[in-house]
Amino acid sequence: MAARETANDGTESGRSGELRTQAALVALRDDVRPLLESLTGAGPFLTASQGRSNWIVRLESTTVWVHTEKSRAAGAPQPIPIEWLLEVADMLESRRVVTREDLRREKPRFRSAFVFAILCQLDRVRCEGRPMALALVE
């Protein structure tokens, strides 16, 4: 049986606590693809900070194809690796809060407006005002 200890904050530590944390991480990651599937072809969703429309036009195994207002007018959707969303989900799980500045500093190639717009729609994630931040809700 795994050893359990209770920390000052009442949470369990040790192997069972690590497994529980890993399970929560998998659950958050597991929610991303079904959300993308539900948004594909479903009409616009808004970015969290500017309220600009985005559309998911195609979902592939590793890529989501997105129209912004500008790319839609040009008829050229932009490819975004699904891994970007998963990496930010990992960051959020480990830190509990990820700001848009964190993303711009640590993952500058990521499309932060799109990533935030998607992850804000997950049940376990809350979007917070200025500066824009994702917060894990437990």
pLDDT reported for residue 116? 92
- The tokens for 55 are 């559309």
pLDDT reported for residue 27? 64
Residue 60, classed as helix, strand or coil, is coil
pLDDT reported for residue 104? 86
pTM value is: 0.76
Q: Which helix (H) or strand (E) holds 113?
A: helix 112-119
Tell me the C-alpha distance between 125 and 6, whole Å.
26
Low-confidence stretches of the chain (pLDDT < 70) are: 1-27
pLDDT reported for residue 59? 97
